[in-house]
Structure 1
Amino acid sequence: MSQLKKGAILNYTTIFLTNVVGILMTPFILNKLGKEEYGIYITVGALVGTISLLDFGLNNTVTRFVAKYRAEKKQKEEENFLATTMLIYLVISLIITLIGIGFYGYLDNYFTKMDSDQIKIAQTIYVIFIFNLAVGLPGGALTGICYGYETFVFPKSLNIARYIMRSITVVAILSLGGKSIALVIIDSIFNLLIILTTAFYIFNNLKVKIKLHQLSLKFIKEIFSYSTWIFVFALVALFQWKAGHWVLGRIALPSVLTIYGVGIALGTYYGAFSSAISSVFLPRATKMAVNNASGEELTTMMIKIGRISFIILMYILGAFILFGNQFVYLWVGKELGIEGSHEIWIIALIIMIGLTIPLIQYFGTSVLEAQGRIAFKAIIYLIFLIIGTIIGAYFAKQYEGIGMVLCSVLGMVAAQFCLNFYYAKVVKINILRFFKEVFNKTFFVIILIVTISNSFNYISSSYGWINFLLKAVSYSLVYIVSIYYFGMIKSEKRLFSTPIEKIINKLKK
């Protein structure tokens, strides 16, 4: 099996671990830290994460340029590029440190709803996070070098090992009485170990050399010109999921920050598996773009991928609408109470609904990347998300996390609405045909499934895990059988049935 295929498998493994372990660990960490300290922990992390934008997308740029120079067999240029990049990272780390020092003294004025003890915790966590970032950003370039050398197994396996070991260590430390400061120290230690291990690998196994032959401003401009749109998309992600932390951190109690942070995390888990499936089709989109595929051909492919994503997403969304409130209460209700868990459910539900259309149209993003037209999406999303954040800051004063997330998601929906016009007018994707064929037959079957499955909520007055699992299993059976026989077309049925038939045939042998 090639490095690429192994890397893809490890990538899906990472996505699975991140989501499943994240869901399992959240109530444990929340229980050990308490809702106030947990809110401080995730909010300070989000604030420091903002400074990580100073990376300017250089990690991706490292991968691109290293791969380019290796393909062209330009060893000297590769050495010079890596040396120049490390000098840039040195400057970035210095800037991060200076910004960190400058904002440190402002923390007590920024977090207006925290008491003196909570401010001290926030300040300590902040300092460690800044150190982590100043060291971690240059370290991330080492992973980019591995990818540039088409070596995917080692860095991805190392990341999985780090994630597992980190989770085990967190459980052990928190069980022994550790708190949020211990968590960030653990992360710092693991980050340093990863950086040192990766450095040893690239110098010892890949024989990478870093040597400055010539420092050229023109070359530095070329590096940053490539990373510009990566940086803009990092800004988009920032305003999508972290801007609310800035706003609420200023005006809300730590317990509100916890509810908002957990709701955001749960909502973003929704699209992880769909994105993993859709991202596989980027090479297909690139090939179609190179071959000058027509708008109708692109539409057909977008429909095929969109329908698969839609079926998967509607299974998750339908279950969350019906039983999500119960799940969240069982998940974190002990720590946050009925009202807190209900707010988390609403925040996550708003995000899931808002993400649905962008996720089923993910192939369109792949087409934009392949055609070199990604700038429009970056700009339009950034504009509307900034507007959403500004309006959200106003509504957050009264409606807290729900007001904040609703405005952010509406900004995202407005951006996607504009993007559909761009797909239709510029890329020549038939958007009306897309929605008609994606929703055709399947949408009404899903409405019927959700309506029927809602009756499961009245079977028993129990509200425990066994009751939830019985509902979930019953819903899953109804959904799978109904969608397969009434909501799928023949090609989709083959896509799902063929792997099962192969497994059965192997078992028979």
Structure 2
Amino acid sequence: MKFNQLKGGAALSYVIIFLTNIVGLVLTPFIIRSLGSAEYGLYTMIGALVGYMSVLDFGLNNTIVRFVAKYKAEGDKKGEENFLAHSFIMYFCISILVTVLGLILYYNLESLYSETLTADQFDKAKVMMLLLIFNLAVSLPGGAFGGICYGYEEFILPKITNIVRYVVRSILVVVILLYGADSVGLIILDTIMNLLVIAVNIYIAFKVLKVKIKLHKFDKTLFTSILGFSLWLFVFAIVHQLRWQFGQLIIGLYYSTSIVAIYAVGITLGNYYGAFSSAIESVFLPRAIQMTVKNIPKKELTATFIKISRIILIILLYILGAFVIVGKDFVYFWVGEEYYMAYYYAVIIMVGLTPILSQGFANNILEAKNLLAYRGKLLLGLTLMGTLIGIVVVQKMGVFEMIVTTVIFMLIERGIMFFYYIKKANLDMLRYYKEIFPLFINCFLIIIVGLVCNNYLPHKSIFILLLSAAIYSVLYLIGSVAIMTKYEKSLLKLVAVKTPFLRKFF
């Protein structure tokens, strides 16, 4: 049963990633055209404003997964009940804090955005703020029930619920927008869908898993343990919000909501890019833990790191190269000509994310060794510096320069972590860069060829876009195969044999 849950949960995770990316790509331009650039920018800006408070979860959801799994493995039902009671006391306090902070923002909206929002936009922004504050205040503690399910290794039912929610929500978004709904209508829909998902997870926790929540005794030490485990998860959540969501809030202070919308599209493309690696990276945390416990030699540990990183890079660099070559036309057909700057935003974001995403296994090793504190402090410090400088840059120069500033600080973090991985993660980073370098050269050369050829081809043509993408794919495949390891070629052959179109070549 446990194996089926793990296997089924993993498979459903890939389904969710696929749905999120494919449906998002289809739905985003429809939402933009239905709302208009100005209202879509308002919708993303207010969403980011309230969403920024979601970090007040303090990483409790993931903490619940770990602690519930621990108590379940120990057979300590009383300890589990007491832990959950403490968690929900904390969630109750967090919900009150979210409501208070949200109302403070609500009553200061006009002073914050008096230079950029119209009277009609203020009216909609206020309604959206109240709905989102309610949504967040309920969703934070409500999300704990999903964490309880995962702690019990009940993956299939919650993930099926999320898939159904996503599909139904996507259909209803199209329906209500066709009938003239606006951004407020979208938030009402999301609130209803969130409440339904929470209700289903509550049913699974109480009725299927027979979970009980009971305060047997108040334990300050347990409170400290919960907060201590959650601290660095909280820091990483803050870093994510500062890097990407905070930009929408700052841009909204100095530019129109239409500019915010263009930035939001660039961020969306960057998030899609990151999703391709997360499916691979998440699978390898147990491997990192096992190798750390067994004290695997440096040479073998580095070899595993390189093997995983190269697989991720082959995928990421293919996507990056394709987007650099055909991305302008893709953005044109996807969301419209007025969003052309989103192409440049997305390219810079993808460049900054590539070294981070491809080195995820190194971070898994740090997590396995309980060494996340250093990277957490480093990330928070550099991100705060980048954010403060970005605020000045966006005022004096523009949005593109603000994103470049963010990416520079991301790359500085990678440079510093180079030495930390050597010292603490026991990795041979010089060997690592030597073995991944050919992948970058292959991608770079093909991009140069593609961009040169683009100068002689007509643009804003779907046929040319598809033809260019196909030619690039063939060239990238040929170049990659020439520098692939035996292991990578075996994986490619396995994929090809299961693909009818490619089967005849293998």
> Same fold by TM (over 0.5)?
yes
- The amino acid of 2:343's aligned partner reads W
Which residue among 101, 104, 109 is the counterpart of 1:102? 104
Q: Distance in 2 between matches of 1:290 and 1:362?
A: 19
Native 8 Å contact 1:270 1:313 kept in 2:
yes
Native 8 Å contact 1:7 1:156 kept in 2:
yes
| Residue of structure 1 in register with 2:484 after alignment | 488
Give yes or no for the alignment of 1:465 onto 2:462.
yes
Deviation by residue 1:101-134 (Cα, 9 ceiling, x = unmatched): 1221100111131111111111111110000000
Deviation at residue 452 of structure 1 after TM alignment? 3.2
Deviation at residue 178 of structure 1 after TM alignment? 0.2
| Residue of structure 2 in register with 1:188 after alignment | 191
Deviation at residue 368 of structure 1 after TM alignment? 0.5
- The amino acid of 2:212's aligned partner reads K
Deviates more, 1:444-453 or 1:219-228: 444-453
| Residue of structure 1 in register with 2:262 after alignment | 259
Deviation by residue 1:4-63 (Cα, 9 ceiling, x = unmatched): 111111111111111111111111000011111111110111111111111111111111
| Residue of structure 1 in register with 2:318 after alignment | 315
Q: Distance in 1 between matches of 2:81 and 2:146?
A: 16
Q: Distance in 1 between matches of 2:397 and 2:24?
A: 27
| Residue of structure 2 in register with 1:227 after alignment | 230
Native 8 Å contact 1:381 1:416 kept in 2:
no
Give yes or no for the alignment of 1:126 onto 2:129.
yes
Q: Distance in 2 between matches of 1:502 and 1:327?
A: 29
Deviation at residue 458 of structure 1 after TM alignment? 4.8
Native 8 Å contact 1:256 1:400 kept in 2:
no
Which residue among 146, 149, 152 is the counterpart of 1:149? 152
Distance 1:443 1:225, change over 3 A: closer
Deviates more, 1:245-254 or 1:159-168: 245-254
TM norm structure 2? 0.95
Which residue among 426, 437, 441 is the counterpart of 1:444? 441
| Residue of structure 1 in register with 2:19 after alignment | 17
3-state SS of 2:202 partner: helix
| Residue of structure 2 in register with 1:401 after alignment | 399
Deviation at residue 428 of structure 1 after TM alignment? 2.7
- The amino acid of 2:146's aligned partner reads T
Q: Distance in 2 between matches of 1:108 and 1:503?
A: 56
- The amino acid of 2:461's aligned partner reads G
- The amino acid of 2:52's aligned partner reads T
Give 1:26-425 correspondences, 5 Å limit.
26-111=28-113, 112-333=115-336, 337=337, 340-425=338-423
- The amino acid of 1:379's aligned partner reads K
Native 8 Å contact 1:456 1:471 kept in 2:
no
Deviation at residue 218 of structure 1 after TM alignment? 2.2
Q: Distance in 1 between matches of 2:388 and 2:44?
A: 21
- The amino acid of 1:279's aligned partner reads S
Give yes or no for the alignment of 1:500 onto 2:499.
no
Distance 1:160 1:399, change over 3 A: farther
TM norm structure 1? 0.95
Q: Distance in 2 between matches of 1:30 and 1:490?
A: 46
Q: Distance in 2 between matches of 1:94 and 1:462?
A: 53
Unaligned runs of 5+ in 2: none
| Residue of structure 2 in register with 1:453 after alignment | 450
Q: Distance in 1 between matches of 2:265 and 2:498?
A: 40
Deviates more, 1:170-179 or 1:217-226: 217-226
Q: What percent of counterpart residues are identical?
A: 45
Q: Distance in 2 between matches of 1:370 and 1:5?
A: 22
Deviation at residue 455 of structure 1 after TM alignment? 5.1
Q: Distance in 1 between matches of 2:453 and 2:272?
A: 25
Query: Cα RMSD (Å) of the superposition?
Result: 1.7
Distance 1:136 1:373, change over 3 A: same
Which residue among 467, 474, 494 is the counterpart of 2:471? 474
- The amino acid of 1:464's aligned partner reads S
Deviation by residue 1:280-323 (Cα, 9 ceiling, x = unmatched): 11111111100112222221111111111111111111111111
Q: Distance in 2 between matches of 1:104 and 1:6?
A: 43
Native 8 Å contact 1:79 1:210 kept in 2:
yes
Deviation at residue 369 of structure 1 after TM alignment? 0.6
Native 8 Å contact 1:252 1:400 kept in 2:
no
Deviation by residue 1:424-467 (Cα, 9 ceiling, x = unmatched): 22323111110001113x33333332233335525642522222
Q: Distance in 2 between matches of 1:275 and 1:394?
A: 32
- The amino acid of 1:432's aligned partner reads L
Native 8 Å contact 2:110 2:122 kept in 1:
yes
Q: Distance in 2 between matches of 1:350 and 1:257?
A: 17
Deviation by residue 1:363-417 (Cα, 9 ceiling, x = unmatched): 1011101111111111111111111111111110143321221111111111111
Deviation at residue 502 of structure 1 after TM alignment? 5.8
Native 8 Å contact 1:268 1:351 kept in 2:
no
Native 8 Å contact 2:332 2:460 kept in 1:
no
Native 8 Å contact 1:55 1:137 kept in 2:
yes
Q: Distance in 1 between matches of 2:444 and 2:65?
A: 45
Deviation at residue 499 of structure 1 after TM alignment? 3.8
Native 8 Å contact 2:348 2:403 kept in 1:
yes
Q: Distance in 2 between matches of 1:502 and 1:129?
A: 45
Deviation at residue 503 of structure 1 after TM alignment? 6.4
Q: Distance in 2 between matches of 1:3 and 1:224?
A: 29
Deviation at residue 275 of structure 1 after TM alignment? 2.2
Distance 1:427 1:462, change over 3 A: closer
3-state SS of 1:292 partner: coil
3-state SS of 2:131 partner: helix
Q: Distance in 1 between matches of 2:153 and 2:52?
A: 30
- The amino acid of 1:405's aligned partner reads I
Deviation at residue 261 of structure 1 after TM alignment? 0.9
Q: Distance in 2 between matches of 1:33 and 1:390?
A: 32
Q: Distance in 2 between matches of 1:193 and 1:398?
A: 45
Q: Distance in 1 between matches of 2:453 and 2:30?
A: 29
Deviates more, 1:231-240 or 1:470-479: 470-479
